[in-house]
Chains A and B, each alone.
Chain A
């Protein structure tokens, strides 16, 4: 969570500088800057995820060295999961919390012609992002562990795609549907990487 926060800080710093340095009246430029800000932020988040991976690696080595039986009390997969959840929670919290605070107060949604589904879609989008961050965490760490660079690039590309799809808002079908599809893909992939299989799933569902 902390790492995500730092990445957010840096990316907003860049965006802020860019905005201040540019003409506030120029609409398309502002929009362009915003898009640039978003993409840059996504890339920075992934960079920080990588840095976090490096930090955890070092920590695991330390723990292994100190432990009695040569294996650390927490595995890298668990750490990947926790890292993903941390990222997701922080990003979700930052996206939603002001919305929720405003939702407590009086008001009408979409009174100025915006979509009336604002709160609903924001909620769904946040949820899908949190899940995605969790799965990306697992995929990313797995890729770093086994040096599967294609996994890492896949995560980055997916993140960019999801953020990019939100540019379609308020045409929600353009953003929510692809995001959920990507989430399903990422979920299946992460599940397979973590050692699950169709058999396990069936057994679990049938409570054997």
Chain B
């Protein structure tokens, strides 16, 4: 087994993105490399004006046209309705995020519980050089704090580096970096994972088949994530790479360091997204200024497409998804940079019918999606996976952490709907998760065990 990962690309994965609630004003946009940019920018402007109007669109396509005249009087009422719509469909967004987060956690927990490999201690990452095998508690605590400091500073450096690259428009570099790291994830880690799973279930597989399977999996994954692909396939791949990354973390981070790192990273997240000089905030603002979406590759987006008054359903359906994946070019995968938490409740218009609407048959397709950073997925799964791996109360603790994280996510999304700007997704969920983990493991478990042994029910 690899004890020290020398390749810095490997683990630092696409971690860390937090959800940020982007202001609804931010136009969702065009790929910076496309020639479509001009038209889409124009569309984006028109779109902005209509935004308030079109927010009612699922029901009233006609309003879209009428409100275009930008009557300010209507703005306030429209804003209200838009708010209501945000809340109403906010519930849908919550569900849309629950499903992938749950899936990721299920994959991680299932793997942890069945495959022994991920719970064996076989060395540590180069980023956590201090070992925890020390005799005294104080020493162990000190080591874990030092490990955390090193890890967090690596993350900070990477984030700042990424922000600088983004600011100075070194898109090719970011792009290359991303491709390299996702290559590593999709091929190497999948190979290791598959190997361990096969070992656990004692299934034989010959090398040619293995090669074929992994090659196909990896190639399709690269295409889906960095270029175009069906939305669901892309989501599935993102979930899988988050799970793989989380498994790597669970295996290679020593016990106490993992918990301290989780705590520290949620604090860092809070600061990086909310402080005026925080790197993530600067990233978000720069992207907003340039009217570009922020690194879609590191973000899980769950776009819902509502087609209203479809004139050309075919192209309409393809339009938004193209737009979404066109932005694949400026995907930056940041190694360990707790980047941008982007969850925009963004509205996108299909680029296809840009002509002013005379009839309400105009293709108004709106996509409303919520975006959650992959780093969030990873750290949620790390928390739940660690709970599954190390808690002696087994499933109760895991279940409690799972519920806590989901409720934290709900609350974050609620705040998102209220504040309408980029928000970090980690702090609330991780805090709840940590509190519930420690309290369930130490307090609830003896209680439930005693109850179960007497078969008492509460």
Binds B, one of A65-73, A140-148, A189-197: A65-73
* Complex Cα–Cα for A2 and B394 (A): 19
Q: Which chain A residue shows the least CB distance to B407?
A: A2
Question: A17: shortest Cβ distance to chain B, in Å?
Answer: 9
**Residue B84 is within 8 A (CB to CB) of chain A in the complex:** yes
Which of the 9-residue segments B162-170, B300-308, B364-372, B442-450 touches chain A?
A: B442-450
Minimum distance in angstroms from A146 CB to a CB of chain B? 27
- Give A128's nearest chain B residue, CB to CB: B457
Q: State how many angstroms separate the Cβ of A6 from the closest Cβ of chain B.
A: 9
CA distance A12 to B451 in the complex (A): 11
- Once the chains bind, are B447 and A16 in contact (CB under 8 Å)? yes
Q: 1/0 contact trace for B379-419 toward A, CB 8 Å?
A: 00000000000000111100110011001000000000000
Knowing A16-B446, A63-B87, A93-B399, the reply to whether A38 touches B455 (Cβ < 8 A) is no
Identify which of A34, A101, A129 contacts B454 (C-beta below 8 A): A34
Q: Is B127 an interface residue (CB 8 A)?
A: no
Instruction: Judge whether A5 and B403 touch: CB under 8 Å.
Output: yes
CB proximity of B34 to chain A, nearest CB, Å = 38
- Name A's B-contacting residues (CB within 8 A): 1-2, 5, 8-9, 11-13, 15-16, 19, 34, 37-38, 41-42, 45, 63, 66-68, 73, 90-91, 93-95, 97-99, 101, 118, 121-122, 125-126, 129, 162-163, 166-167, 169-170
What are 8 A-B contacts with C-beta separation under 8 Å?
Answer: A2-B403, A5-B400, A5-B403, A5-B436, A16-B442, A34-B450, A91-B458, A94-B448
Taking CB atoms, residues of chain B closer than 8 Å to A94 are 396, 399, 448
Say yes or no: B395 contacts A101, CB within 8 Å: yes
Question: Please, which residues of chain A bring their CB within 8 A of the CB of B447?
Answer: 11-12, 15-16, 37
Would you call A169 and B455 a contact (CB within 8 A)?
yes
Query: What's the nearest-Cβ distance from chain A to residue B415, in Å?
Result: 14
Judge whether B83 is part of the interface by a CB distance below 8 angstroms.
Answer: yes
| Seed contacts A11-B447, A97-B399; 12 additional CB < 8 Å A-B pairs | A2-B404, A9-B436, A9-B443, A66-B83, A66-B87, A93-B399, A95-B457, A97-B396, A121-B455, A122-B455, A125-B457, A169-B454
Minimum Cβ distance to chain B for residue A168 (Å): 10
- A12-B443, A16-B443 as given contacts; A167 in contact with B399, CB under 8 Å: no
Q: Least Cβ distance of B277 to chain A in Å?
A: 35
Nearest chain-B residue to A65 (Cβ)? B84
On whether the beta carbons of A98 and B396 are closer than 8 Å, the reply is yes
The 6 closest A-B pairs by CB, nearest first: A12-B447, A66-B84, A169-B455, A97-B395, A12-B444, A41-B458
Contacts A97-B399, A98-B395, A166-B457 given; indicate if A9 touches B451 (C-beta within 8 A): no
Q: Using CB atoms, name the residue of chain B closest to A67.
A: B84
Q: How far is the CA of A38 from the CA of B451 in the complex (A)?
A: 8
Which of A8, A99, A122 has most B Cβ within 10 Å? A8
The answer to whether A166 and B436 touch across the interface, beta carbons within 8 angstroms, is no
Q: Known contacts A2-B407, A97-B395, A98-B452; decide if A68 and B81 are in contact (CB<8 Å).
A: yes
Whether a CB of chain A sits under 8 angstroms from the CB of B73 is no
Chain B residue nearest to A99 in the complex (CB): B452
Number of cross-chain contacts by CB at 8 Å = 90
Residues in A with CB closer than 8 Å to B442 are 16
Interface of B, secondary structure class, is helix
- List of B residues within 8 angstroms of A67 by Cβ: 84
Is there a chain A Cβ closer than 8 Å to B440's Cβ? yes
Contacting residues, chain B, for A2 (C-beta < 8 A): 403-404, 407
Q: Does B71 contact A (CB under 8 A)?
A: no
- The A interface is mostly helix, strand or loop, or mixed, namely helix
Which chain A residues border B457 with CB–CB below 8 Å?
95, 125-126, 129, 162-163, 166
Q: In B332-375, which residues have CB < 8 Å from any A CB?
A: none
Which of the listed residues B88, B393, B448, B456 has the most CB atoms from chain A within 10 Å of its own CB? B456
A126 to B448 alpha-carbon distance, docked (Å): 14
Shortest Cβ distance from B74 into chain A, in angstroms?
Answer: 15
Q: B134 contacts the other chain (Cβ, under 8 Å)? A: no
- Whether A9 lies near B455 (C-beta < 8 A) is no
Q: Point out the residues of chain B lying under 8 angstroms from A66, CB to CB.
A: 80, 83-84, 87
A129: chain B residues within 8 A (beta carbon): 457
Q: Does B232 have its Cβ within 8 Å of any Cβ on chain A?
A: no
In the complex, residue of chain B having the shortest beta-carbon distance to the beta carbon of A62: B87
Q: How far is the CB of B2 from chain A (nearest CB, A)?
A: 32
B84 CB contact (under 8 Å) in A1, A45, A68: A68
Instruction: Flag whether B36 is at the interface (Cβ < 8 A).
Output: no
The interface bits of chain B over 423-450 (1 if a CB of A lies within 8 angstroms of the residue's CB, else 0) are 0000000000000100110111011101
| Most interface-central of B80, B396, B447 (chain A CB within 10 A) | B447
Interface centre among B81, B403, B454, B455 (most CB of A within 10 A): B455
A163 to B447 CA separation, bound complex (whole angstroms): 15
* Chain B residues in 8 Å Cβ range of A8: 444, 458
* B444 proximity list for chain A (CB < 8 A): 8-9, 12
- Name the residue of chain B whose CB is nearest to the CB of A6: B436
**Nearest CB of A to B436, in Å:** 7
**Alpha-carbon gap, A167 to B458, bound state (A):** 11
Contacts A12-B448, A16-B446, A63-B87; is A101 near B455 (CB within 8 Å)?
no
Q: How far is the CB of B405 from the nearest CB of chain A, in Å?
A: 11
Give bound CA distance, A204 to B407, whole Å: 37
Q: Are B403 and A38 closer than 8 Å at their CB atoms?
A: no
B448 to chain A: which residues have CB within 8 Å? 12, 94-95, 98
Measured CB to CB, the closest approach of chain B to A75, in angstroms, equals 15
Interface pair B456/A167, CB less than 8 Å apart: yes
Residue of B nearest to A30 (CB): B450
CB-CB under 8 A from B400, the residues of chain A are: 5
Given the complex, which residues of B lie within 8 Å of A11, measured CB to CB? Answer: 447, 458
Pairwise interchain contact A95-B87, C-beta atoms closer than 8 A: no
Evaluate contact between A166 and B80: CB separation under 8 angstroms.
no
Closest to B80 in A: A66
- Are the CB atoms of A38 and B456 closer together than 8 Å? yes
Task: Give the distance in Å from the alpha carbon of A11 to the alpha carbon of B439 in the complex.
Answer: 12
